[in-house]
């Protein structure tokens, strides 16, 4: 099921999208009053069957013209992110000189984990604030986002997928100068609007083999990144086991799994984003997001 959060006047509504037919159904009336997509994920065991049975009976409208927001517009806490998780990206990052504090082209032995502030989240088609005066080196990173369903701690590799609700797309926009200067990634990764998400939150039952999905990006129509999820150095079960070893994962938690080669600092000289550039990210079955640098 493809779920969306959309804007209706001053309120946020939850919708189910039939992407092939190009239509959206407002399912908010099937949900507890005031429930957003986060609550749907938390209560999926009860609400999933209700949506499956009753959503198709609701009126459909063209999804075109509906203002889609990030599926989880305000996550409960920071988005977990994984750096240096595709081999060719580790190499381009190491060569670029932006990898701090321990510049290296060696593959990481353990997952490199950081986070993005919740206030960095923006919609799948929202404008990206270039933050002139704060950064002059804006870059993009197309990534598969894992959405946790059932929470837990000490989750094993074998049980990991039982805790996955589904998937979305995240563009891990990065201020490279801040990432390098501050020797810790939170600041460079967390500027407002630097985490476009969506358009869909896709439940796991719709994805037969997540490792076969292709993660791709284009800048002004020019292909930049393209790699299958199976190229991840640390796969989804490993990431969930690592994160949950000592941190309780919660329903609705997001994990951005890392970006393939082809980001701006992979070029020599680097190709940073400038106002007017349009970045598109696509993942098989998860749609396309399109964001313009304001
Ligand atoms: Mg990233």
10-residue stretch averages of pLDDT, the chain, 294 residues long: 96 97 98 97 98 97 97 98 95 89 85 97 98 98 98 98 98 97 94 98 98 98 98 98 98 98 96 98 98 98
Closest CA to 69 of 203, 253, 193: 193
Q: Are 70 and 196 in contact (CB under 8 A)?
A: yes
- Distance (angstroms) between ligand 1 centre and the Cα of 63 equals 29
pTM over 0.75: yes
- Distance (angstroms) between ligand 1 centre and the Cα of 246 equals 22
Instruction: List, in order, residues 6 or more apart from 1 with CB less than 8 Å away.
Output: 16, 48, 51, 52, 55, 202, 203, 205, 206
Q: Are 52 and 44 in contact (CB under 8 A)?
A: no
DSSP H/E element including 169: strand 164-171
- Distance (angstroms) between ligand 1 centre and the Cα of 157 equals 22
Report whether CATH 3.90.198.10 matches the domain 79-292.
no
- Distance (angstroms) between ligand 1 centre and the Cα of 61 equals 35
- Distance (angstroms) between ligand 1 centre and the Cα of 169 equals 12
Q: What is the pLDDT of residue 105?
A: 87
- Distance (angstroms) between ligand 1 centre and the Cα of 7 equals 28
């Amino acid at each position: 099921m493809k779920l969306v959060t959309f804007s209706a006047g001053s309120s946020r509504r939850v919708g189910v999208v039939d992407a092939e037919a190009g239509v959206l159904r407002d399912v908010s009336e099937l949900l507890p009053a005031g429930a957003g997509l986060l609550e749907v994920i938390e209560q999926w065991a009860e609400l999933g069957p209700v949506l499956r049975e009753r959503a198709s009976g609701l009126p459909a409208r063209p999804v075109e013209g509906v203002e889609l927001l990030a599926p989880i517009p305000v996550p409960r806490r920071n988005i977990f992110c994984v750096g240096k998780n595709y081999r060719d990206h580790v190499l381009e990052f190491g060569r670029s000189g932006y990898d701090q504090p321990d510049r290296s082209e060696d593959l990481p032995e353990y997952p490199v984990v950081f986070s993005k502030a919740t206030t960095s989240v923006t919609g799948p088609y929202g404008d990206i604030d270039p933050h002139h005066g704060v950064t002059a080196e804006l870059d993009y990173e197309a990534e598969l986002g894992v959405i946790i369903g059932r929470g837990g701690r000490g989750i094993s590799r074998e049980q990991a997928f039982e805790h996955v609700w589904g998937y979305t797309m995240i563009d891990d926009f990065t201020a490279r100068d801040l990432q390098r200067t501050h020797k810790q990634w939170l600041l460079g990764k967390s500027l407002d609007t630097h985490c476009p998400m969506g358009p869909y939150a896709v439940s796991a039952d719709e994805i037969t083999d997540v490792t076969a999905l292709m993660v791709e990006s284009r800048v002004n129509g020019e292909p930049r990144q393209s790699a299958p999820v199976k190229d991840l150095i640390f796969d989804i079960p490993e990431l969930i086991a690592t994160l949950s070893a000592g941190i309780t994962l919660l329903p609705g938690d997001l994990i951005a799994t890392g970006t393939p080669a082809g980001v701006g600092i992979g070029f020599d000289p680097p190709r940073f984003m400038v106002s007017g550039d349009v970045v598109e990210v696509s993942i098989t079955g998860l749609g396309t997001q399109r964001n313009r640098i304001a």
